[in-house]
Structure 1
């Protein structure tokens, strides 16, 4: 393994509750991650939750990102939807704007945008939907960095529009040999063994590689590593991942 010092951002999906229902342990995860993808009300989240997470993130110096989604509370944003491009752009801008109010009230700001769930997967290969997300960012009046998979249509559209792109990897998701994620509906799509998640996370950060479903080694050069907050034992796993990264010589820091 190379001894060259490298750095990586740790991000997690937070604020994924609604009303009295909660899913993620936001307070504990914010003691581990450097960037928080905050649900903006379309797949999860509500005004009070958004405000609380922004206040916690700002107090701890964690970057706040808008996690934009298809309008799908019932399906947690993981159902495939066909939304006209103009409508999707407006809904992306709407979500960013809503979160920006609470981020600024907390003394911070929205620092980047990341799609969620079905929208995240859709904009890997769908140029029209990717362009709509980018237009939504521009409608919000900002040139925010866009977080997504390396080589995605989303990043192509963002770069063409002059928006910074930030590549992302997943220690707990299975990859296909082309560098895309194995769909959640397929067996083995989510890596559940903590030791394996830690090992994959360190390899992604240090070597820029991951073992794909089927055994092939795939190059995944990423500036940010996602730690899912909605899996059992998420907080302890996140702590293990960060500790292992740091002990292997990886500097953990936000990308913005």
Structure 2
């Protein structure tokens, strides 16, 4: 595939053409050229600008529609529905806040909510939370959506002592806001690990994607008052729905990692 730019042809890698085109179109959507609600490029315009076939342009547009980034309106055209989520991993913000900032509605579907003893969860998680076997833990599973498009599958364990009367209905909104506003907890940071993972069949069904695709796996521990663990979580981020960008500078200067942090 060749991308026309400034009268020159720019050769790109050997990935399938529609995947390369997806990345280029996603970059265009996430840039300043388009805002949520704007009309996007037509198939013909994409063919001319990126030197691809009409079938390839159609496949890429359909893929971006299924991701929730574009919306097709019959007889009118294709429009920007949302932008890929970009935030700062070094700044604690909620999925709800990030989604609304990007111009779409956040929603949480509670898949599981139970209160159990720490002795009944994985020992590694209990160790991360620094709890004894008889302490109470909330186990929560949620599917996070933006404009009803599944984005993140969340598995979270919370130390119950810090929010003793937590109930299922409250889990449908931002937990970060619940922690800070209702329980007056001083959330001071997280310890996170980000890696690639292959999406399982169960995860794929919930995220409405094909089984076996790669996604982002984020595992983290959230702390209050600098060093006290409040939660442990494991989140699967839908592939192609998020961007992570790292700006690296000389070691004497501040470094910044941008991405999406789910709370």
TM-score scaled by length of structure 1: 0.28
Name the larger-Rg structure. Answer: 2
Per chain length, whose mean CA-contact separation is higher, i.e. which structure has more relative contact order (CA < 8 Å, sep 6+)?
1
Q: Greater strand share, 1 or 2?
A: 2
